[in-house]
């Protein structure tokens, strides 16, 4: 059982030069339950990535605390796997060794490691690429490897920070289906940050909308679309209704973030 609780978490970045300090996150409360797939949707600069980095333990909150399964988070750890927007595969390791990175760090014996790596290569459709280096792979393949690398470690929760942000639209749609397929089969607790409304709805069981800076939670929308979800669901009336609603919520924030446009 995984339970993540974010309790009154705020983050203020100290001022640069003479400017005022940046309030990236206002106090935020959020609970993510077992096998929940929560997407955090917000305009750029709303602090959604900051929130994810706080959960990962890569940054510390100015106030409040984050508790995973009863233990407060103080530092990064293998119980919170993360997939970044930038390509962060280790370029000197083959795809197989990249996936095995966390397992090696844990001291998993070589034979078990090899078995787990083979399984994950298969699940993300990269069986033929075990001995390739990251540079030889497309962006989508690299992010698939990054997902496999994080999940092979069996984290309690998977954190994804706009993982498909740098991919073209078609690849992005395929990646969403792949990730959703894995989630439907494996049942994982997932926190997924994005600024893409369709992506947020398609993947989530719950969408959390954040306001423009300073970031706060503006709305929480449950997504009751049935599983397994097929990509055709994106053209259904229910999907369109959700999209229309979230578009309104997000647009107001984007306008705030950009200042008044003519």
Partner 1 sequence: MKPLAPISNTARLVLGILFFVLFFAAWAFATLGGFVSSTFLADPITMVEEGWLLLTRHGFLADIGVTIWRVVGGFVLAALVAVPLGILMGAYKPIEAFFEPFVSFARYLPASAFIPLLILWAGIGEAQKLLVIFIGSVFQIVLMVAMTVSGVRRDLVEAALTLGARDRGILGRVLIPASAPSIAESLRLVLGWAWTYVIVAELIGSSSGIGHMIIDSQALLATGQMIFGIIVIGVIGLISDLLFKLANRRLFPWSLA
Residue numbers at the binding site for partner 1 (CB under 8 A): 56-58, 75-78, 80-82, 84, 86, 88, 90-93, 101-102, 104-106, 133-136, 146, 149-150, 153, 159
236's tokens: 């259904």
Instruction: Decide whether 158 or 250 has the Cβ nearer to partner 1.
Output: 158
Minimum CB–partner distance for residue 58 and partner 1 (Å): 5
Instruction: Decide whether 77 or 139 has the Cβ nearer to partner 1.
Output: 77
Instruction: Decide whether 40 or 100 has the Cβ nearer to partner 1.
Output: 100
Strands (E), the chain: 4-13, 22-32, 37-41, 63-68, 71-72, 80-83, 157-161, 189-194, 206-210, 217-222
Instruction: Decide whether 104 or 115 has the Cβ nearer to partner 1.
Output: 104
Residue with tokens 């446009």: 261
Report the SS3 class of residue 93. Answer: coil
Longest dimension (CA), the chain: 63
Minimum CB–partner distance for residue 154 and partner 1 (Å): 11
Instruction: Decide whether 2 or 88 has the Cβ nearer to partner 1.
Output: 88
* Helices (H), ranges, 83-138: 95-106, 110-123
Minimum CB–partner distance for residue 20 and partner 1 (Å): 26
**Nearest Cα residue to 26 out of 213, 172, 230:** 213
Residue with tokens 């578009």: 247
Minimum CB–partner distance for residue 163 and partner 1 (Å): 12
The CA distance from 68 to 142, in Å, is: 28
Minimum CB–partner distance for residue 133 and partner 1 (Å): 5
């Amino acid at each position: 059982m995984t339970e993540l609780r974010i309790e009154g978490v705020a983050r203020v970045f100290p001022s640069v030069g003479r400017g005022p300090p940046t309030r990236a996150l206002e106090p935020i409360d959020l609970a993510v339950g077992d096998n929940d797939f929560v997407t955090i949707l917000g305009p750029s600069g709303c602090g959604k990535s900051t929130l994810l980095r706080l959960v990962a333990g890569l940054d510390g909150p100015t106030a409040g605390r984050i508790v995973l399964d009863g233990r407060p988070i103080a530092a990064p750890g293998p119980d919170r796997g993360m997939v970044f927007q930038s390509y962060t595969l280790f370029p000197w390791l083959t795809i197989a060794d990249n996936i095995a990175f966390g397992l090696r760090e844990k001291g998993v014996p070589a034979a078990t490691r090899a078995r787990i790596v083979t399984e994950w290569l298969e699940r993300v459709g990269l069986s033929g690429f075990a001995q390739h280096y990251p540079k030889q792979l497309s962006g989508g393949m690299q992010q698939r490897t990054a997902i496999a690398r994080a999940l092979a470690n069996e984290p309690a929760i998977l954190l994804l920070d706009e993982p498909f942000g740098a991919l073209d639209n078609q690849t992005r749609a395929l990646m969403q289906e792949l990730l959703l397929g894995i989630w439907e089969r494996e049942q994982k607790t997932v926190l997924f940050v994005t600024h893409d409304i369709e992506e947020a709805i398609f993947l989530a069981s719950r969408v959390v909308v954040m306001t423009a800076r300073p970031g706060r939670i503006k709305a929480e929308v449950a997504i009751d679309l049935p599983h397994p979800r097929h990509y055709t669901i994106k053209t259904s009336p229910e999907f369109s209704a959700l999209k229309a609603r979230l578009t309104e919520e997000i647009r107001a924030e984007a306008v705030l973030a950009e200042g008044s446009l003519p």
